[in-house]
Structure 1
């Protein structure tokens, strides 16, 4: 199929107070729902470790990034993380290069406190998250959706920046609340499906 799309979706392993990480639970629900016959969906559970994230994202983008730039319009990486303070499914617009002081699951943090030395301070997704948010909200899926410009200076933000850098902006980051606060796993899976479908619609429209 000529216009087949590739979508990579990741969620995180447990860490800290999150003995069950709702991001990975939501991604597994999405895997069951799928994104339709025109999309090849690949899902991965990501360690809460800076070095592992760096290696994994390099590997994923090397594996899935097309050689021809125009074909990148059919490729999207969506990373999902949990936010203990979130009560809505939150779409992140930017990834940030600096401020990574908090130790990961292996008690490691980058000596430089940054993702890419001499990289840009901030990278934006090619997707307009305000537009995605409005379209999903208008569809009335029963899950609140919001937009944020700060993904938190921990593994979520680190993952997002690295993916935006490697994927030339063809990435997105979605924060989900902890399970049952207030949404169940099926709600989060449906919300993730709706969000990604709108992202793909927007990419398609932008390159038409």
Structure 2
């Protein structure tokens, strides 16, 4: 199995992005699974273009995109991406779309094809807080998740794909009061576990992962 896993560069005034730091700390081989790591820009459109090019060249079996979700406590495995770009802040190229479709000819939403509940359960077994998330936001994280699933769908590619959000790491919250974080080593470990779970679970677990809000 070959996995292409991506992480964003820093954005929003941060000097570091835990998504990329955790991704690049992964080994190149996990129990015989080849791991190809890619940094992508926190930029609408440009991030998707780079991802598509690498899907075509790497020809992975699985694509996992990883992003920062400052303020979340948990390793969050995303369920769905929506066809909306609505930037709370400009991206790293200064572009700030408002209520724009990611792709005009795309579906309203695409669902992850990863075994999201199995991933969560395996990560929790390792003592790492994890949960299914039902919103990837409307910034570049949702944009790349939607773009990934759109591309796989439109090109009929037999590739599994999805997105994971990770919390801040400790050095990002030194000046932020009452802000949750997770150690980088635990995030990287959770990503390793996620990759193994994708290999081990052909079908997802049928268990509750819902939330009231």
TM-score bucket (shorter structure): 0.7 to 0.9
- Taking the aligned partners of 2:47 and 2:7, their CA distance within structure 1 comes to 11
Please give the secondary structure, in 1, of the residue aligned with 2:107.
Answer: coil
CA distance in 2, matches of 1:182, 1:113: 31
Deviation at 1:112, TM superposition (A): 6.9
- Residue in 2 that maps onto 1:175: 165
1: CA distance, partners of 2:116 / 2:27: 22
Instruction: Decide which structure has greater helix share.
Output: 1
Whether the 8 Å CA contact 1:101–1:113 is kept in 2: the answer is no
- Runs (4 or more) in structure 1 with deviation over 2 Å come to 99-103, 109-112, 180-183
1:16 equivalent to 2:12? Answer yes
The answer for unaligned runs of 5 or more in structure 1 is 66-73
Describe the SS at the equivalent of 1:77.
strand
Query: Aligned equivalents of 2:13 and 2:199: distance in 1?
Result: 33
Q: What is the distance in 2 between the residues matched to 1:183 and 1:173?
A: 18
Indicate yes or no: 2:21 matched with 1:25: yes
- Displacement, 1:119? 0.8
Q: TM-score, normalised on structure 2?
A: 0.81
Q: Is 1:142 the counterpart of 2:127 in the alignment? A: yes
Contact 1:11 1:44 in 2 (8 A): yes
The two structures have a TM-score, normalised by structure 1, of: 0.83
* Aligned position for 1:54: 48
Q: Hey, what's the Cα distance between the residues in 1 that align with 2:27 and 2:46?
A: 23
Aligned to 1:186: 185
Query: What's the counterpart of residue 166 of structure 1?
Result: 151
Question: What secondary structure is seen at the aligned counterpart in 2 of 1:40?
Answer: strand
Q: Are residue 122 (structure 1) and residue 109 (structure 2) matched?
A: yes
Q: Measure how far apart 1:108 and its partner are.
A: 1.2
The total of aligned residue pairs comes to 189
Report the equivalent of 1:201: 200
Aligned residue among 68, 80, 83 for 2:69: 83
* Whole-angstrom CA distance in 2 between matches of 1:50 and 1:175: 17
